[in-house]
Structure 1
Amino acid sequence: MTEIVLSDPVRTALSEGRAVVALESTIFSHLGLPSPANAEALDRCLAAVEQGGAVPAVTAVVDGVPRVGLDPSEHPRILGPARKAAARDLPVAIGQAWDVGATTVSASLALAAAAGIRVFATGGIGGVHREVEQTGDVSADLGAIAAHPVVTVCAGAKVFLDLPRTLEHLEMLGVPVLGWRTDELPAFTTPTSGLPVPHRVEDASEVARIVAAGRALGATQGTLVTVPVPAADGLPKAEIDAALDAALRDAAAEGLSGAAVTPFVLGRIAEATEGRSVPANLALAENNARVAASIAVELARRDGGTAA
């Protein structure tokens, strides 16, 4: 039987009813941000969770073992080369004893839910891809958000996706979508998408009340909290749209599809914005971790627990 291994701080916090925030490892690997930005992202996210009164729990598969929470001495493992592990890949990563499986949103949610963690922070989620009617390409992130009773805190969906259809798919799955102090759906490194967010919330206590109400009604799906990138760090929508259109044309010309599109488009956007998308990525990841910590602390308080 495969056992998920919790770090000592995570195990202790959960046993004492204290706040814990799960973090994916893909963003911290070479598959996410380039070095040394990935290491900076890890440090900033860990610090934001801890300063917010919660315990951070980085998820990954290390030497074939599913992990929730890593020792600082293990951080270099996830900062280096890794294989991307979505939820469907977890049994393979374990069965084949991968050296490092960097967990995506779907895998991180699966591990967090299995460990009993109620809040998860990431950068931007996947969603329904453009031209889905031809490709059928819908990210497993959406199904995982619906399948696990975990609050996912993100900066919206990645901007190159079909955002209206992504919202429709989340509605079909029954996932409450909340805008953190915003009336518009954020679009990753830009704070606006032009699309209204279904529901606005102002603070962690409001999110906690919504989650509690769902539990009382027997809801089993997760909740999505979308947080705009901090205004000082976000990129103008018009600039991102122009860079995105050019990147998508180039991706199509090179015959890219599926998972190959994401790193290609993000790389082209980074080039077009002269590297300013990387600081925006760092800022939104840190901010999401901070918001997630506040929600985790409030949920723990409501359940009679404490902060870290």
Structure 2
Amino acid sequence: MTLPLSHSPEVAEARAAGRPLVALESTIITHGMPFPQNVETARRVEATIRAGGAIPATIAVLDGTLHVGLTEAELDRLGEAQGVAKLSRADLAACMARGGTGATTVAATMIAARLAGIGVFATGGIGGVHRGAEQSWDVSADLQELAQTPVTVVAAGAKAILDLPKTFEVLETLGVPVIAYGQDAIPAFWSRDSDLPAPLRMETGAEIAAAHRMRGALGLPGGQLVVNPIPPEDEIGRDVIGPIVEQALEDAARDGIAAKAVTPYLLDRIFHLTEGRSLTANIALVLNNARLGAEIAKGLAD
């Protein structure tokens, strides 16, 4: 069958010219914040990538077609849409086959980026092992995707609501390179330091791009996770965010929140408990990751 895949005019032109491209997910638009702030933030992220010398490719499923790059009208439509599916590896194909509309998570965005020949993807934070996973078995598909899909993912670490030691232990078991950008510690999303040592450290986008190409030359499956610390002026220290995360987790357990509903619930509770500061930090770290993503993409294009 013919794959229903569409490139935006900007992305199609960049592909034809061999220009650097950076993939972007769309759940931050549909499940991260309300309209019109969601679309305004998405446009800021895209503008940051263009300013860095690359072309953004925001990915989503619209009416069954996998879009790599969204026009302004499509971005507005997605930002205002209601009942948009949250797509990962397990439900991407079903949504497309049914002609549905969905926003891509880290895993689904990696799949689409591979199909489009895009080697780097900038996001906020990856999913991972949830706290209490020894009872719930709640582990994000993002980790397995990193182990099998050859895309370099730039994030500010795993989301701080997760069990970070277990998350990075699983990544080590799966053979996923975890590269800290410019520091020796793995960052913790809103905070610059998780107190976990980074297995690898690199200083430039070109160095990260070279490692990506070498993995391909060796025939190694999977991608790389680049953990990029939030800028110092935007971080929320662990001593501040830690008790707030614990409170949000207690609230989720009390309210019986489970499965895919957990992460949106926790992020919303933390937003209210920090009086909006967590969202401000989230936007800052996404923009910071977009800048690094553009630098890596230029290294891949060279």
Q: Counterpart of 1:273?
A: 274
Residue 36 of structure 1 deviates from its aligned partner by: 3.6
Q: Which has the higher contact order (CA 8 A, sep 6+)?
A: 1
SS in 2 for 1:97: coil
- Kindly indicate whether residue 37 of structure 2 is the aligned counterpart of residue 51 of structure 1: no
Q: Which string of whole-angstrom CA distances, capped at 9 and with x for unpartnered residues, describes residues 224-282 of structure 1?
A: 10111111111111111010111111111111122211111111111121111111111
Match runs of 1:192-203 below 5 Å: 192-203=193-204
- Kindly indicate whether residue 94 of structure 2 is the aligned counterpart of residue 92 of structure 1: yes
Q: Counterpart of 1:69?
A: 69
Q: Counterpart of 1:156?
A: 157
Distance 1:141 1:212 in 2: 21
- Change over 3 Å in CA distance of 1:218–1:179 after alignment to 2: same
Distance 2:258 2:239 in 1: 25
Distance 2:66 2:212 in 1: 27
Say whether the 8 Å CA contact 2:125–2:158 is kept in structure 1.
yes
Distance 1:8 1:36 in 2: 24
Match runs of 1:110-121 below 5 Å: 110-121=111-122
Distance 2:5 2:148 in 1: 19
Distance 1:3 1:36 in 2: 28
Say whether the 8 Å CA contact 2:4–2:64 is kept in structure 1.
no
Q: Counterpart of 2:299?
A: 298
Point out the more displaced range, 185-194 or 115-124: 185-194
Distance 2:251 2:107 in 1: 28
Distance 1:35 1:232 in 2: 27
- The TM-score normalised by the length of structure 2 is 0.96
Q: Counterpart of 1:215?
A: 216
Distance 2:71 2:210 in 1: 33
- Kindly indicate whether residue 57 of structure 2 is the aligned counterpart of residue 60 of structure 1: no
Distance 1:69 1:212 in 2: 24
SS in 1 for 2:299: helix
Say whether the 8 Å CA contact 1:41–1:285 is kept in structure 2.
no
Q: Which string of whole-angstrom CA distances, capped at 9 and with x for unpartnered residues, describes residues 109-156 of structure 1?
A: 101101111011111100011111111111011111121111101111
Q: Counterpart of 1:306?
A: none
Q: Counterpart of 1:14?
A: 15
Distance 2:53 2:108 in 1: 25
Say whether the 8 Å CA contact 1:127–1:166 is kept in structure 2.
yes
Q: Counterpart of 1:125?
A: 126
- The TM-score normalised by the length of structure 1 is 0.94
SS in 2 for 1:192: strand
Q: Counterpart of 1:247?
A: 248
Q: Counterpart of 2:180?
A: 179
Report runs of 4+ in structure 1 exceeding 4 Å deviation: none
Once the two structures are aligned, what percentage of the paired residues are identical?
47
Structure 1: where are the runs of 5+ without partners? 302-308
SS in 2 for 1:87: coil
Q: Which string of whole-angstrom CA distances, capped at 9 and with x for unpartnered residues, describes residues 96-121 of structure 1?
A: 111x3111111111011011110111
Say whether the 8 Å CA contact 1:159–1:187 is kept in structure 2.
yes
Q: Which string of whole-angstrom CA distances, capped at 9 and with x for unpartnered residues, describes residues 48-107 of structure 1?
A: 110111111010000111110111121112212222111211111111111x31111111
